[in-house]
Structure 1
């Protein structure tokens, strides 16, 4: 690594150091840096546990346990200047321990991590936010293969050879070389993915067995999307005979279907999940403060709104989130169960008309 002196039009080499020389420790420093900013590994990950030791009949601990955007578990093992000979075997053991973790167990592990760090946050809400608002019931966790990420200053040949063999046989492994430098009393850190080489990673994946488990998951998602589109088609067919609100809206693959409310950034939506159906208004006009102001203004009229509707609403200010939500729900229904469809559609059609009737004008007033 070099630093550029533009005045002299020259480059000067920066001193390459070892972690040992700099007094950097694995758990105290490197592990914390990665956990704090997983984008150093080239993607956004959700860290759900550090030094995880929840394995039966063993006291072994894996460094970092995370979720990726596909819902796969990611086992991250960190070493400093030398990977050692056994890091691949070590990571494989942890993968074998983690592959049986269920969705409730993952939630429990993450909640334990949050509680230990006294964040006051809720695991389910954080997971939903990580998956862009997808309801927790809809999110598939650890249903595919697990992944391994190995981080070290130097990888021994026996490690890289094993990793390449694993990749060739469809096991998802990445190696990141981490190199510390010292410049003007500051420590610089270069983190580079060396296996698979970033530029050829996609090609290497295509040369495996096409990721059988990933393909199966895609088929499952495709089935889910097709069910949603079919359901929305039937809903719109009925609702459009009762209201013009969704006349220009087409069925889609999402678990929600939105239309305008007359206030920018505050759509009305139908919502379907595996445990409830709802009509809702999502307040997301821009800044968090403005969203909370609109919500609070509406909440001041809660008695009049719920009296006019004839039913209580579900008010979610979501103090630690940017947006806020108000919904009218039907519990204990599942859009995957076609026997529930008539009941859900009947509720959603009537609920949306009444919901809009009682909240549209108060919403306009609150937004101005």
Structure 2
């Protein structure tokens, strides 16, 4: 890394000492940095364990265990200045141990991690469901067969490690090698995290090569039972809405997801139908890109709670969802969603209450959005 000296029109090399020279250790520093900022590894990860030793008949510990956005377990091994010779073997062992973990075991391990790290006020189930963007844990698939991923983190990788990693990658094992480099300039320290295996160019090429095969496979492989069930339900629901007085979902296609949504007239805010195994919901979803905008709109609506609920005719659930970005206002119904004989009743319920929800919130939501914009444009007073 070089610093640009604009005055002299030159570049100056920035010092890159070893972690050990800076007094940093693998366990107390690098591991802690990644545990608290997993996005440094280039993707959204949910750290669910640290120094995990919950394997039967072994006292071995893996450095970090995470979930990715697809519900796959990610084994992260950190080796600081040098990868060593055995990091691949260690990670493969840990991945094999983790391959048998059930959903219940993963949730239990994550809750233990939260409790141990002073976060006992958080619930593993809620965090996992929200991270994976579901509304019901029963719909979540965790740790599918042979989907475990490996991630190696080190300042330098030995040839025997990179050679083995490339061979494993070529044989369908999902892995990455992340090179971490400390830099020092004056009294400031910096950390660069770079994926070296597979290289970004190679990864893009692999994606391109596999895209057509994946597309063809997806067209011939049947949806799993839950996805097909949801698709069938939404198909019936949309048809029923088209024959009703509620026109929100006229241009919506059936989905295999748990929800379908329609615009409200306010950017980032929508009217949403949710269908799960045990619960159906209608809701107003506030999902603008800026957290403070969602919270301000929510608060402006919440100030009218009594009037809005009187207009709607039922008590609503007001979920501000601090400190997360998305806020929700919803009305639920307990159901047996996998019993198709109940679907006509569920669909009638959705049409009736979504019609009233739109009528209740359409104008107040537009007014709240306008007030939000004015509030954020007002200059902050200074003393």
Q: TM-score range by the shorter chain?
A: 0.7 to 0.9
Structure 2 regions of 5+ residues with no counterpart? 372-383
Q: Deviations over 1:293-329 (max 9, x none)?
A: 13422434477357x34xx443323233333322222
Q: TM-score, normalised by structure 2?
A: 0.82
C-alpha contact (below 8 Å) 1:83/1:155 kept by paired residues = yes
DSSP-derived class of the 1:170 partner: coil
Alpha carbons of 1:166 and 1:260: their partners in 2 closer, same or farther (altered >3 Å)?
Answer: closer
Measure, in 1, the Cα distance between the counterparts of 2:238 and 2:207.
Answer: 41
Corresponding residue of 1:279: 282
Map 1:240-255; keep pairs closer than 5 Å: 240-246=242-248, 248-253=250-255, 254-255=257-258
Corresponding residue of 1:269: 272
Measure, in 2, the Cα distance between the counterparts of 1:349 and 1:134.
Answer: 21
DSSP-derived class of the 2:310 partner: helix
Measure, in 2, the Cα distance between the counterparts of 1:89 and 1:129.
Answer: 33
Corresponding residue of 1:193: 195
Q: Deviations over 1:182-238 (max 9, x none)?
A: 221322323222222221124457889x999xx78x957677555444322211222
Measure, in 2, the Cα distance between the counterparts of 1:155 and 1:365.
Answer: 58
Corresponding residue of 1:33: 33
Matched, 1:174 2:176: yes
Aligned equivalent of 1:291, options 268, 290, 297: 297
Q: Deviations over 1:70-125 (max 9, x none)?
A: 21110000001111111111101110111111222222222222222223333233
Corresponding residue of 1:87: 87
C-alpha contact (below 8 Å) 1:298/1:366 kept by paired residues = no
Q: RMSD of aligned C-alpha atoms?
A: 3.2
Alpha carbons of 1:166 and 1:247: their partners in 2 closer, same or farther (altered >3 Å)?
Answer: closer
Aligned residues: 361
Measure, in 2, the Cα distance between the counterparts of 1:346 and 1:48.
Answer: 41
Q: Deviations over 1:260-299 (max 9, x none)?
A: 4566654322211122112122244661441331342243
Measure, in 2, the Cα distance between the counterparts of 1:76 and 1:148.
Answer: 6
Measure, in 1, the Cα distance between the counterparts of 2:209 and 2:57.
Answer: 38
- Deviates further, 165-174 or 291-300: 291-300
Q: How far is the alpha carbon of 1:160 from its aligned partner? A: 2.0
Map 1:3-14; keep pairs closer than 5 Å: 3-14=3-14
Measure, in 2, the Cα distance between the counterparts of 1:220 and 1:290.
Answer: 43
Measure, in 1, the Cα distance between the counterparts of 2:358 and 2:8.
Answer: 68
Q: TM-score, normalised by structure 1?
A: 0.85
Measure, in 1, the Cα distance between the counterparts of 2:246 and 2:308.
Answer: 27
- Deviates further, 43-52 or 249-258: 249-258
Corresponding residue of 1:141: 142
Corresponding residue of 1:55: 55
Corresponding residue of 1:64: 64
Measure, in 1, the Cα distance between the counterparts of 2:368 and 2:306.
Answer: 10
